[in-house]
Structure 1
Amino acid sequence: MATTTSTAAVTSLASVTLEVADPEAARRFYTAFGVEAYLHLRASDTHSTGFRGFTLGLTVSGPATVDGFLGAAVDAGATVLKPATKSLWGYGAVVQAPDGTIWKIATSAKKDTGPDTREIDEVVLLLGVESVKATKQFYVARGLTVAKSFGSKYVEFAPGRSCPVKLALYKRRALAKDLGVPTDGTGSHRIVLGTTTDAFTDPDGFTWQPAV
């Protein structure tokens, strides 16, 4: 008798949706910030306090462009959590949007050798997780491909075909420290990841739903 082998559907990140109290106000902010093309927005009043366990990061070409995006965010109503400074890894700043989402703007370049281009090289959704190893295994089992891995500290997955945002994992406590916020948080993450397969929830409570 012939046998068949079932293969689990392969997951990929198809979209990123932020749940916000006021979608129109959020849309105005993200348009002024210059990142509206990377996001979907939907109304939500679900309970959420403290650190939501993730950040969205912009990688740009140089310090002038970091300053340009930082200035645009602040002018549109963002709060500066970390002012733009040089570090071991380059130059960057951290802001919190009016809807509560935390954004990191960074470049690996320390010297300002060019003008503000207002161009984004890469957008990364960084999830703060309790166990990078366990969550990595969970996503690999669902079909995601690891692009970069630094032991139990950081994992980056290969991007999906339909979404310009990369997905990465970092320890929750380390991520909060990097962003300059307390680790504690309760309630909804206020973010929904679009999937090319059926809905599921990861080990840290991040929700994936079929992308519209």
Structure 2
Amino acid sequence: MVMATTTSTAAVTSLASVTLEVADLEAARRFYSAFGVDAYLRLRQSEALSTGFRGFTLALTVSGPATVDGFVGAAVDAGATVLKPAARSLWGYGGVVQALDGTIWKIATSAKKDTGPDTRVIDEIVLLIGVEAVKATKQFYTDRGLTVAKSFGSKYVEFAPGESSPVKLALYKRRALAKDLGVPADGTGSHRIVLGSTTDAFTDLDGFVWEAAASLAPTAP
């Protein structure tokens, strides 16, 4: 996609917001309200060309299988496509859906047994971006002041969340992420996502765009 821009690293950056760029703003508002994640997002209209895998997923961690099923059901009822039906795995229970605007969402829990009701509560939300070189991108972000919370060599990195955003940022190999989501790894054009920076605007090594959070228009109610 595009190469990283060069910017000053004097100020400490953190993730302040996540903005999805969508073709149909009203349809996206209805979908995310019904899905139950609208409080975590901003939406902005865009006709930017984007084909194939956009290189990221938004992952919801919830308390149990019933809550996974509840979010998957709400997404499907609102028009989402199921990429991976909710099922047990080595790591727990989860499923993958694709929203009307093309954004891929993963809903999962570490619990394998369905021991409680659907709470419709999100315990954690992570923006997981697929990158070509995890170590290099980790260094890029730590140079800008992000704090590493978890790191598994060249496979996975998770950063501590910023004070102003409930969304965590994490890195994963692009092809491994696509495989996990059940989609081909190829994709071109816009990522259709903009990350809000607490400092200045910049673009990372894989073309993910950050804008100063103050310049991002919030989602209308």
1:67 aligns with 2:69: yes
Query: Structure 1: where are the runs of 5+ without partners?
Result: 1-5
User: Structure 2 counterpart of 1:47, which letter?
Assistant: L
CA distance in 2, matches of 1:84, 1:157: 27
CA distance in 1, matches of 2:41, 2:101: 13
- Which of 103, 106, 111 is residue 104 of structure 1 equivalent to? 106
User: Structure 2 counterpart of 1:103, which letter?
Assistant: W
CA distance in 2, matches of 1:161, 1:54: 22
CA distance in 2, matches of 1:105, 1:97: 13
Could you give the per-residue CA deviations for residues 159-189 of structure 1, whole angstroms, max 9, x where no partner exists? 0000000000000000000000000000000
Map 1:7-86; keep pairs closer than 5 Å.
8-86=10-88
Could you give the per-residue CA deviations for residues 106-141 of structure 1, whole angstroms, max 9, x where no partner exists? 000000000000000000000000000000000000
How many residue pairs get matched? 207
Say which one has the larger Rg.
1
Mapped contact 2:135–2:154 kept (Cα < 8 A):
yes
Alignment match, 1:3: none
Query: Structure 2: where are the runs of 5+ without partners?
Result: 1-7, 215-221
Mapped contact 2:9–2:143 kept (Cα < 8 A):
no
Could you give the per-residue CA deviations for residues 71-129 of structure 1, whole angstroms, max 9, x where no partner exists? 00000000000000100000000000000000000000000000000000000000000
CA distance in 2, matches of 1:8, 1:96: 38
CA distance in 2, matches of 1:147, 1:86: 27
Note the aligned Cα RMSD (angstroms): 0.9
- Which of 122, 131, 134 is residue 132 of structure 1 equivalent to? 134
- How far did residue 145 of structure 1 move? 0.2
1:192 aligns with 2:194: yes
Alignment match, 2:180: 178
Q: Percent identity?
A: 86
- How far did residue 23 of structure 1 move? 1.1
The structure 1 segments of at least 4 consecutive aligned residues displaced by more than 2 Å after TM superposition are none
TM-score of the aligned structures, taking structure 2 as reference length = 0.93
